[in-house]
Amino acid sequence: MGYIRSAAVAGALTSLVVGATAAFGAAAQAVPNVTPQGVCGSGYKTVNSAPIASLGTVYLTYNSANGKNCVATIRTNPGTAKKMSAYINVPDTQAWAEDAGSFMSYAGPSRVYGKGHCVSWGGFITNVYVSVENSNCASLTEHRVTSVR
């Protein structure tokens, strides 16, 4: 009788451990490690970035194969959805793209054709905004602004 009870207890503990591993394993994978290339695509290389205080970073990427720039705002600590955005503008052509909303991990991708043009880009997380004007265009000096609203 003691053997049957021990086997039953061992079986119950095994089920508990397997169930807990499955539950916690799924939770650990719910928010993957996000990179700018993961958001924008494998052909995009990071060419610039700007911190959004300690909340995250906004990244400017470029794909030389198609001439497009892409912006992604990535949180330092993913979790509960927060208001975020990632935007890019080409002042010369008036091309504009933005992804804004409530996100758990990142905002973006926001893509425009920018080959041979200056770009202005940025984003926000909650109430901290970052904008970079006239970026990545050789002789002009970019202008960065971080503000809390």
Question: What is the C-alpha to C-alpha distance for residues 24 and 107, in angstroms, rounded to an integer?
Answer: 26
Question: What is the C-alpha to C-alpha distance for residues 10 and 135, in angstroms, rounded to an integer?
Answer: 63
The answer to whether the pTM exceeds 0.85 is no
Question: What is the C-alpha to C-alpha distance for residues 100 and 83, in angstroms, rounded to an integer?
Answer: 7
The answer to whether residue 55 scores a pLDDT higher than 50 is yes
Residue 32 pLDDT level (bands cut at 50, 70, 90): low
32-36, 89-93, 117-121, 128-132: lowest mean pLDDT where?
A: 32-36
10-24, 63-77, 132-146: lowest mean pLDDT where?
A: 10-24
Size (the chain), residues: 149
User: Could you state, in order of their start, the residue ranges of all structural domains in the chain?
Assistant: 1-30, 36-148
10-24, 94-108, 132-146: lowest mean pLDDT where?
A: 10-24
Q: Token pair for residue 136?
A: 């990545």
pLDDT recorded at residue 144 = 85
18-27, 49-58, 134-143: lowest mean pLDDT where?
A: 18-27
More confident residue, 144 or 133: 133
Q: Name the strands in the sheet holding 56-63, side by side, starting at the edge strand that comes first in the sequence.
A: 45-52, 56-63, 68-75, 106-113
